């Protein structure tokens, strides 16, 4: 009797989703699918809006990484204006982006995933959450809260609001930095770096414990896509596209971001509101690739800040050679990036140019098509707009970080399900591992639901006629 196991909602991820596992006669996994169940339709309803509204509007795709959308959107607008923004404005934009990477990675690691890592995948689901972590290891929970707070406070200091700030504008930023604000931010960074280093050291002690999970959590061959700096180093704001294969060969390098359509195609499957981007030259679905912290570290020659480069060298030792394959190590990569972000923010804030008051280029629209690409915490984010002569938007496409990982996430849940799920003896912990692999990717389904949607966990066993024969719910 073939059966379907549904995990709904997938919890401790951002957004709404469902996982279905199709089981065969012997209880073996035959198919695994990750469904996004929310859809909003930004591509359509942005139509007719003045392009200057786009940053504030598209920020509402996501409350975790609104700054990423604000940046990609403003970069698309800079492109429409045909301006190069003042150097200080670029540095300030970089700082707010790094602050967001810090807070978003902290959220992913501490609030969402640390319950699995600390309390265990098979622990009681009633306490397997950040509040359970507060009881078990209050110091770690406080570190997580504080680190996220530091990121959020820097965003607020620069942008005026922690969530959905409007300070970044087409052509630059709305206001120059004051010395007082610079001091206030610089004061917080050493504490943040201490927390990040402490957490990184602690996580390294956990890695050997999770060897088994690491060898099954999304280890299949994929390509890696990310931005890199002109020197080929870690980059989150600008730069060029790089694609590496699973063996570490460069397939694409120094591709200008406005040529993204040559690299990335999008397909639709009938079971998800999330589209399936693929690497065009290889076709679908062979052109599966991963983005985000793991891809960025695999693609970068170096980080360019002292402590992060030490950590990057250690990251590469997780495997004998080649790009790090296991998606479990997204967690590792995230911690390295937090260290990098804190070091880099300090460097940028100490730059004498950072207080320069020329922070905005003013122009009308000078082009009818604009493309903005940046690295969101979860991966490469692409905003593409077309406008008419009045500056009203006629066409929009957004390719979201989480979307790029869609094919890879579907492959990963299949791999984990094959390794851990026994259809004849279902246990909650097995299914939590299937969810946990998704947490490695830290999907942002609000983002993904700009066009796609929702994640929940009720497991239903259905017979081939679709009748529910058994039901296991987490509660």
Partner 1 sequence: MTDNPVSATPVSDKKITVATAWLDGCSGCHMSFLDMDERLVDLAQKLDIVYSPLVDTKVLPDQVDVGILEGSISNEADLHHAQEFRKHCKLLISLGDCAVTGNVPAMRNPFKLEAVLNRAFRETVDLQPQIPTVGLPALFRQVRPIHGCVEVDVFVPGCPPHADAIFYVLSELLEGRTPDPNKVTRFGA
List interacting residues with ligand SF4 (CB under 6 A): 60, 63, 163
Binding at 197: pick from ligand SF4, partner 1, none (beta carbon under 5-8 Å per type): none
Task: Choose which of 13, 29, 387, 411 interacts with partner 1 (CB under 8 A).
Answer: 13
Q: Which of 257, 253, 258 is nearest to 242 (CA)?
A: 253
Residue in this structure with the two tokens 């709404």, named with its chain if needed: 16
Q: How far apart are CA 43 and CA 421, in angstroms?
A: 38
- Minimum distance, C-beta of residue 431 to partner 1, in the bound complex (Å): 10
* Cβ–Cβ under 8 Å, residues 451 and 40: yes
3-state DSSP assignment of residue 320: coil
3-state DSSP assignment of residue 460: strand
- Minimum distance, C-beta of residue 152 to ligand SF4, in the bound complex (Å): 14
Kindly tell me which of 63 and 429 has the beta carbon lying closer to ligand SF4: 63
Kindly tell me which of 163 and 318 has the beta carbon lying closer to ligand SF4: 163
Task: Choose which of 22, 27, 87, 134 interacts with partner 1 (CB under 8 A).
Answer: 134
Kindly tell me which of 268 and 392 has the beta carbon lying closer to partner 1: 268
- Minimum distance, C-beta of residue 280 to ligand SF4, in the bound complex (Å): 33
* Cβ–Cβ under 8 Å, residues 297 and 248: no
- 60 lies in the binding site for partner 1 (CB under 8 A): yes
What is each CA distance from 95 to 53, 73, 102, 310, in whole angstroms?
A: 23, 17, 11, 22
Kindly tell me which of 365 and 449 has the beta carbon lying closer to ligand SF4: 449
Kindly tell me which of 360 and 384 has the beta carbon lying closer to partner 1: 384
- Minimum distance, C-beta of residue 118 to ligand SF4, in the bound complex (Å): 29
- 38 lies in the binding site for partner 1 (CB under 8 A): yes
- Minimum distance, C-beta of residue 87 to partner 1, in the bound complex (Å): 31
- Minimum distance, C-beta of residue 135 to partner 1, in the bound complex (Å): 9
Kindly tell me which of 224 and 279 has the beta carbon lying closer to partner 1: 279
Residues paired with 372 in a beta bridge: 383
- Minimum distance, C-beta of residue 162 to ligand SF4, in the bound complex (Å): 11
- Minimum distance, C-beta of residue 242 to ligand SF4, in the bound complex (Å): 33
Q: How far apart are CA 396 and CA 32, in angstroms?
A: 31
- 146 lies in the binding site for partner 1 (CB under 8 A): yes
Binding at 268: pick from ligand SF4, partner 1, none (beta carbon under 5-8 Å per type): partner 1
What is each CA distance from 144 to 186, 239, 262, in whole angstroms?
A: 19, 30, 40
Q: DSSP class of residue 470?
A: E
Kindly tell me which of 64 and 295 has the beta carbon lying closer to ligand SF4: 64
Q: Which of 166, 182, 226, 117 is nearest to 349 (CA)?
A: 182
Q: Write out the two tokens for 204.
A: 């390294």
Site for partner 1 in 163-202 (CB under 8 A): 163-164
Task: Choose which of 3, 18, 93, 329 interacts with partner 1 (CB under 8 A).
Answer: 18
- 391 lies in the binding site for partner 1 (CB under 8 A): no
Q: How far apart are CA 98 and CA 377, in angstroms?
A: 9
* Cβ–Cβ under 8 Å, residues 41 and 58: no
* Cβ–Cβ under 8 Å, residues 373 and 227: yes
Q: How far apart are CA 40 and CA 25, in angstroms?
A: 38
Q: Write out the two tokens for 290.
A: 């991963």
Binding at 8: pick from partner 1, ligand SF4, none (beta carbon under 5-8 Å per type): partner 1
- Minimum distance, C-beta of residue 455 to partner 1, in the bound complex (Å): 8
Cβ contacts of 403 within 8 Å, gap of 6 or more: 266, 274, 275, 276, 277, 447, 448, 452
Q: How far apart are CA 105 and CA 298, in angstroms?
A: 17
- Minimum distance, C-beta of residue 459 to partner 1, in the bound complex (Å): 9
- 37 lies in the binding site for partner 1 (CB under 8 A): yes
Q: Write out the two tokens for 220.
A: 């299949």
User: Parallel, antiparallel, or unpaired for β 223-228 and 289-290?
Assistant: parallel
Kindly tell me which of 58 and 257 has the beta carbon lying closer to ligand SF4: 58
Kindly tell me which of 61 and 74 has the beta carbon lying closer to partner 1: 61
What is each CA distance from 233 to 22, 243, 298, 303, 341, in whole angstroms?
A: 42, 13, 10, 6, 14
Q: DSSP class of residue 371?
A: E
Name the E strands within 393-450.
393-399
Binding at 198: pick from ligand SF4, partner 1, none (beta carbon under 5-8 Å per type): none
Q: How far apart are CA 193 and CA 210, in angstroms?
A: 25
- Near partner 1 by CB under 8 A, which window of 109-117, 180-188, 210-218, 239-247? 109-117
- Minimum distance, C-beta of residue 472 to partner 1, in the bound complex (Å): 9
Question: If binding means CB under 8 A, how many residues of this protein chain bind partner 1?
Answer: 76
Site for partner 1 in 259-288 (CB under 8 A): 265-273, 275, 278, 280, 284
Binding at 468: pick from partner 1, ligand SF4, none (beta carbon under 5-8 Å per type): none
Kindly tell me which of 13 and 223 has the beta carbon lying closer to partner 1: 13
């Amino acid at each position: 009797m073939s059966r379907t196991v549904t995990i709904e909602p997938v919890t401790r991820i951002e957004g709404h989703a469902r996982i279905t596992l199709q089981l065969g006669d012997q209880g073996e996994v035959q198919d695994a699918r990750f469904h996004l169940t929310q859809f909003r339709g930004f591509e359509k309803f942005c139509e007719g809006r003045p392009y200057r509204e786009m940053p504030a509007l598209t920020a509402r795709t996501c409350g975790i990484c609104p700054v990423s959308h604000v940046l990609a959107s403003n970069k698309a607008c800079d492109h429409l204006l045909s301006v190069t923004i003042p150097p200080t404005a670029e540095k300030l934009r970089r700082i707010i982006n790094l602050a967001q990477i810090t807070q978003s990675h902290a959220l992913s690691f501490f609030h969402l995933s640390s319950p699995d890592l600390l309390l265990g995948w098979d622990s009681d689901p009633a306490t397997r959450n950040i509040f359970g972590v507060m009881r078990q290891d209050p110091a770690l929970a406080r570190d997580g809260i504080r680190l996220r707070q530091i990121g959020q406070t820097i965003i607020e200091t620069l942008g005026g609001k922690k969530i959905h700030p409007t300070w970044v504008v087409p052509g630059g930023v709305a206001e120059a930095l004051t010395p007082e604000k610079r001091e206030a931010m610089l004061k917080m960074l050493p504490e943040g770096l201490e927390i990040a280093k402490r957490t990184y050291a602690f996580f390294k002690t956990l890695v050997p414990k999770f060897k088994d999970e690491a060898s099954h959590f999304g280890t299949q061959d994929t390509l890696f896509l990310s931005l890199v700096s002109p020197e080929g180093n870690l980059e989150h704001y600008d730069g060029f596209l790089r694609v590496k294969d699973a063996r570490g060969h460069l397939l694409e390098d120094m591709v200008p971001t406005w040529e993204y359509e040559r690299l990335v195609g999008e397909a639709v499957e009938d079971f998800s509101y999330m589209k399936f981007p693929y690497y065009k030259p290889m076709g679908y679905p062979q052109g599966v690739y991963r983005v985000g912290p793991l891809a960025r570290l695999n693609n970068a020659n170096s980080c360019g800040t002292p402590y992060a480069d030490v950590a990057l060298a250690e990251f590469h030792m997780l495997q004998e050679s080649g790009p790090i394959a296991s998606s479990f190590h997204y967690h590792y990569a995230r911690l390295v990036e937090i260290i990098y972000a804190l070091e880099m923010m300090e460097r940028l804030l100490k730059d004498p140019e950072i207080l320069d008051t020329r922070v905005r280029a003013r122009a009308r629209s000078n082009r009818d098509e604009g493309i903005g690409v940046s690295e969101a915490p979860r991966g490469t984010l692409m905003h593409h707009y077309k406008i008419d002569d009045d500056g009203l938007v006629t066409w929009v496409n957004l390719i979201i970080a989480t979307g790029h990982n869609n094919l890879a996430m579907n492959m990963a849940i299949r791999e984990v399900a094959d390794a851990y799920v026994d259809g004849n003896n279902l246990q909650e912990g097995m299914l939590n591992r299937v969810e946990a692999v998704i947490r490695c990717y830290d999907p942002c389904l609000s983002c993904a639901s700009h066009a796609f949607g929702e994640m929940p966990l009720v497991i239903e066993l259905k017979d081939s006629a679709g009748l529910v024969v058994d039901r296991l719910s987490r509660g």
